[in-house]
Amino acid sequence: MKLGAIEAGGTKFVCAIGDEEGSIFEKIVIPTEAPEITMPKVYEFFKGKGIERMGVGSFGPIDLNEKAGTYGQIQKTPKIDWIGFPLADSLSEKLGVPVTVDTDVNVAALSESRWGNATDVDTCLYITVGTGIGAGAVVNGQTLKGLSHPEMGHIGVRRHEEDSFSGACPYHQDCLEGMASGPAIEARWGKAGVELSEDPRVWEIEAHYLAQALVNYIYIISPERIIMGGGVMQQTHLFDLIRKKVVEMLNGYVSSPRLTEENINEYIVPPGLTNEAGVKGALGLAMK
Ligand code: ADP
Ligand code: ZN
């Protein structure tokens, strides 16, 4: 079956035609401008190609409540041209196929669970630490949704005792994203993370916040694996700092062989997929 897939990001739309196996036959990259400019190019690419279903992994926030009349609509976003744009409805009307939409991070989790570093488990969590912090989850093979989609980047965190930074989230100030995103690191230390590799204080504080978040996700979702991606995780030494703190913070409370000092390396891991993760995940979504 031919499927359509879109990775709809803040800077570009990656559109692809592929199949259930995750094979991609054709791909195009379209810059994200206003919907009136971007979307006609998207429709044009897919028209007449014989796709039967479509999956879209989108920037957000986006309405994912299938019971609401506004399913697949972009919500409040800094990209003001897109506020209220009916992404799912416009695609299904123009192309005449069913369209399933999910968040970029849920789609990344799905992609890792089908083709990446979580193919051997049923429940996994994907977190990206970049310009923002967002996480998605696959629970028993399905992406996690409810009222709309989870906002795991904005949970509260306990402050590090040596950290006096006020926080960078415009909504909550010192939430996880406000304390640990790439821009938060830059605002706290006056330099971008990439230039701070050698300063252990930076990563001690960063790991303190990220480990707390993972511990909370472990308590609430009980994932069988956690995948960490995004620009900040390019500091690969962070992985061991986070793993160590997660084991310490859990303090043996959750009994699982996956959460021991010996096995935590295989529990908290980098992504297995790189450049095609977004569109491949969107193919996975189209199959539902
Ligand atoms: P986005 O979140 O916009 O999709 P990224 O995941 O690349 O993009 O995140 C960008 C953020 O990650 C920036 O704040 C940048 O400073 C930070 N970042 C990118 N590369 C690195 C690196 N090697 N080390 C530390 N921080 C980085
Ligand atoms: Zn916040």
Q: How many domains does the chain have?
A: 2
Label residue 147 by pLDDT band (50, 70, 90): confident
CA dihedral (195, 197, 200, 204) in degrees, to 10, reads 100
Which residue's CA lies nearest to atom 15 of ligand 1? 182
The rounded mean pLDDT for the chain is: 96
Which residue's CA lies nearest to atom 3 of ligand 1? 131
Q: Do residue 99 and residue 142 come from a single domain?
A: no
In a domain, 14, yes or no: yes
Q: Do residue 180 and residue 236 come from a single domain?
A: yes
In a domain, 94, yes or no: yes
- pLDDT beyond 90 at 288: no
In a domain, 249, yes or no: yes
Cα 33 to averaged position of ligand 2 atoms, centre (Å): 26
Nearest ligand, CA of residue 172? 2
In a domain, 112, yes or no: no
Q: List residues near ligand 1 (CB under 6 A).
A: 130-131, 182-183, 186, 192-194, 230-232, 234-235
Whole-number Cα distances in Å, 1 to 22, 100, 185, 263: 11, 16, 45, 39
Residue 252: is it exposed, middle or buried by C-beta count within 10 angstroms (0-12/13-18/19+)? exposed
For the beta sheet containing 12-18, the strands, ordered from the edge strand earlier in sequence to the opposite edge, are 24-31, 12-18, 3-8, 53-58, 99-103
Cα 242 to averaged position of ligand 2 atoms, centre (Å): 21
Residue 237: is it exposed, middle or buried by C-beta count within 10 angstroms (0-12/13-18/19+)? exposed
Label residue 100 by pLDDT band (50, 70, 90): very high
In a domain, 13, yes or no: yes
Q: Do residue 63 and residue 201 come from a single domain?
A: no
> Residue 259 sits in a domain of what CATH number?
3.30.420.40
In this structure, of 30-39, 89-98, 115-124, 276-285, the range with the lowest mean pLDDT score is: 276-285
CA dihedral (237, 212, 108, 143) in degrees, to 10, reads 160
Q: Do residue 280 and residue 244 come from a single domain?
A: no
Q: In terms of residue numbers, what domain contains 10?
A: 3-104+276-286
- Which of 131, 186, 198 has the most ligand 1 atoms within 8 A of CB, as the residue to mutate? 131
Q: Do residue 158 and residue 242 come from a single domain?
A: yes
* 268, β-bridge pairs: 226
- pLDDT beyond 90 at 204: yes
d(CA 205, CA 272): 26
CA angle 111, 135, 114 (to 5 degrees): 15
